[in-house]
Amino acid sequence: MPIEFVRRRFDRSKAKPQLMQLFTPNVVGPDRPATRLLLGGATAVGLVVAGVVALTSMAVLLGALFGIYLLLTEVLGLELDMDPRAFVAQAQKYAAQGRN
């Protein structure tokens, strides 16, 4: 089925497909426009909802990481001193070992 979606998307032999045609399966024939519209709309809404859920999850994760950072630094009083040169030196060391 994914190959059929790609084939329909990049097929240049016929007229350019409409946006809703990209979101409807081939099982629904062209003689049922209401069903095609309903399935295409449901698919588009599902994609939007999944995107919103993903962005919300990422924001919550970043907020949790920031909260952990604040707890470590402000409440527990730990000092996190990160030197980027140490990361670069370690990466160069691993890269040199990989070439051998």
Q: What is the pLDDT of residue 5?
A: 63
First to last CA, the chain: 44
Q: Which helix (H) or strand (E) holds 20?
A: helix 19-22
Q: Are 26 and 9 in contact (CB under 8 A)?
A: no
Distance CA 30, CA 76 (A): 65
Residue 37 tokens read as 């519209």
Higher pLDDT, 26 or 47: 47
- Tell me the whole-structure pTM to 2 decimals: 0.56
- pLDDT, tens only, 33-63: 778 778 878 888 999 999 999 999 999 999 9
Q: What is the pLDDT of residue 21?
A: 65
Q: What is the pLDDT of residue 9?
A: 59
Number of H helices, E strands in the chain: 4, 0
Q: What is the pLDDT of residue 19?
A: 61
- pLDDT, tens only, 75-93: 999 887 778 888 888 888 8
